[in-house]
Amino acid sequence: MGKTVRLTMAQAVTHFLKKQMTVIDGKTVPIFGGVWAIFGHGNVAGIGEALYQVRGELTTYRAHNEQGMAHAAIAYAKASFRQRFMACTTSIGPGALNMVTAAGVAHVNRIPVLFLPGDVFANRAPDPVLQQIEDFGDGTVSANDAFRPVSRYFDRITRPEQIISALKRAMQVLTDPLDCGPVTLSLCQDVQAEAFDYPESFFEERVWTTRRPRPDVDELASAIALIKRSEKPVIIAGGGVLYSQATKELTEFADAHGIPVVVTQAGKSAIDERHPLALGSVGVTGTSAANAIAEEADLLIAVGTRCQDFTTGSWALFKNETLSILGVNIAAYDAVKHDGLALVADAREGLKAISEGLAGWKAPAALAAKAEKEKKIWTEAAAKAMATTNAALPSDAQVIGAVTRTIGGENAIALCAAGGLPGELHKLWPATVPGSYHMEYGFSCMGYEVAGGLGAKMAHPDKDVIVMVGDGSYMMLNSELATSVMLGLKLNIVLLDNRGYGCINRLQMGTGGANFNNLLKDSYYEVMPDIDFRAHAESMGAIAVKVSSIAELEQAIIDSKKNDRTSVFVIDTDPLITTEAGGHWWDVVVPEVSSREEVNKARADYVKARAAQRIG
């Protein structure tokens, strides 16, 4: 049987995690960047004691909010291109459930994170315990069952030896480019403390490397033939290009075959946007250049993207009736969407194989000429949108312009999540190196920004991490600002205050709705809130300043470069102004019947726009 070592189940978990390794730039490093923990009665005695014993080899980080720490872990893995990741442990009940929203973020975005929530007693002797949810019809249910639909793999550990197979399966999922996503191992609190004679071999060092499936020969031949028949192809680059580290191959592919490249939210920074064939963002938040090319395309080469509705303009962007789709994706599920011809492969290996098969072939020169013309038009429009202003309430785009002029560049990472800012950043942020743009827009989760900034900074402590966040999202989850100060990880947080949910207010207006319950002034109140965000940020240890103009913002950012901790810049902005150039219709259903004429008109426009959708 071999030698064994007697450990508690929780100790077995921590000893196993510290022995999992990966190789980055030729150097073997721990694959877990640490463990986030908020302790309670469901994990403090078990996993808490076990983490203490390995604190010199596996760092434990204390957070202020369970959802926040999970967002930080997700951002860490995303910023690491999924090569490294983190674990998160909580008590049972509310502590665990606070991570479920973040698990949804990780699941949608295919990001690895290991959730280790405490659970009820497996022996059920003291049931019901504090914070336990009881199901009247199922004695096996606990609050942690909420993780099931948002986990790639879920397991409840009711015996100490079960952790052996569960951790092995967890690592397979966390490191598999196809199955990659969140794993939840629900740890019953009594079992955490139970001992078992574990095989010593279970704790041997294991090095995990990226699996790179190559294309099927027949699929590859069909893909090459399809491209050769096209006259107006366009490449849509998604996050899979970055996770595959295929950015070099993408650029070489575009150069060799004269095909324009447009990017999704997750794929932005997959190609240097200064490249003549790089047309920027596509779809609902797309540049005018990217969308002009996409509308006429007869072939979409969708590389590493799941073709979300924002990317496809709710599948109404592509107007060419002869359109075909080639899905180059490690997941067949994504590759075949909308009757696409599938090339199931790693993005890097797929692009290399296709390019070799296309040797000597190039798209018609007219395509590159049109791309150049459209890009020039867009570049001028973008510069106009981001130009400095003396307006009392600047636009989001003008704030972005100030940031790019003062702290942007190859050493910067722009990070955001929800609201109106993702649309403006997707169009306007000048991403030049892989990872310089970090957007959580698969789940569009408000509250990701500050915690996500912390995770990105942990992954890249040498980078200037710029968090762009609106007042609405900041109010939802800001506690990890204090954690960034505590850990000595400087963030640059630009807080745009438009006094409400400006993005949804604009959507409400665009669908004919009355201004209602989004901006503070349009909500029910006894006393109008007047929140001092500068004072709030300072109270959590940050250096904060409130500026009254774009010029003041630029100077404040320049002055902050000498600051030794997180710096927050608060600026009031206009809730209604967005960049007019670019963009596309998005399918948001408008009521068929209303007493308001504005809604009836919006419904008529909606029906007309919907007629352009591709169905199937």
Instruction: Give the per-residue pLDDT at 540.
Output: 98
Residue-level pLDDT at 614: 87
Q: Where are the domains of the chain?
A: 4-208, 217-377, 387-572
To the nearest whole percent, how much of the chain has pLDDT over 90? 98
Question: Is residue 616 pLDDT above 80, yes or no?
Answer: no
Confidence label for 1 from pLDDT (cuts 50, 70 and 90) = low
What is the edge-to-edge ordering of all strands in the sheet holding 412-416? 437-439, 412-416, 464-470, 492-497, 567-572, 543-547
- CA-CA distance, 256 to 248, in Å (whole number)? 12
Res 408: pLDDT = 85
Q: Does the bond joining 128 to the residue before it have cis omega, within 30 degrees of 0?
A: yes
Kindly report, residue by residue over 415-460, the tens digit of the pLDDT. 999 999 999 999 999 999 999 999 999 999 999 999 999 999 999 9
Tokens found for residue 182: 């969140």
pLDDT at position 170 = 98
Percent of the chain with pLDDT over 70: 100
Given a cut of 90, is residue 203 above it in pLDDT?
Answer: yes
User: Which residues are bridge partners to 199 per DSSP?
Assistant: 4
Report the predicted TM-score, pTM, of the whole model to 2 decimal places.
0.97
| Cβ atoms 413, 460 nearer than 8 A | yes
CATH class entry, domain 4-208:
alpha beta
- pLDDT for position 466: 98
- Measured over all CA atoms, what is the biggest interatomic distance in the chain, rounded to whole angstroms? 79
Give the separation between CA 379 and CA 294, rounded to whole angstroms. 17
Q: Note the pLDDT tens digit of each residue in 473-531.
A: 999 999 999 999 999 999 999 999 999 999 999 999 999 999 999 999 999 999 999 99
Query: DSSP class of residue 363?
Result: -
Average pLDDT value for residue range 318-322: 95
Min mean pLDDT across 5-9, 75-79, 84-88, 408-412 is at 408-412
* pLDDT of res. 137: 94
With cut-offs at 50, 70 and 90, classify the pLDDT of residue 361: very high
Evaluate whether 217-377 and 387-572 have a shared fold.
yes
pLDDT of residue 290: 98
Residue with tokens 């600002």: 481
217-377 CATH, one of 3.30.230.80, 3.40.50.1220, 3.40.50.300, 3.20.20.80? 3.40.50.1220
Write out the CATH class of domain 387-572: alpha beta
Contacts of 559 (CB under 8 A, 6+ apart): none
What average pLDDT is seen over the chain? 97
Give the pLDDT score at 615. Answer: 83
End-to-end CA distance of the chain: 55
Question: Given this model, what pLDDT does residue 409 score?
Answer: 87
* Residue labelled with tokens 């998604």: 238
Mind listing the pLDDT tens digit for each residue in 22-61?
999 999 999 999 999 999 999 999 999 999 999 999 999 9
Label residue 196 by pLDDT band (50, 70, 90). very high
Q: What is the mean pLDDT of residues 383-399?
A: 96
HSE (side-chain half, CA atoms, 13 Å) at 401 = 18
> CA-to-CA distance for 349 and 434, rounded, in angstroms?
18
DSSP string, 390-455: --SS--HHHHHHHHHHHT-STTEEEEE-SSSHHHHHHHH----STTSEEE--SS--TTHHHHHHHH
Using the 8-state DSSP alphabet, how is residue 477 labeled?
Answer: S
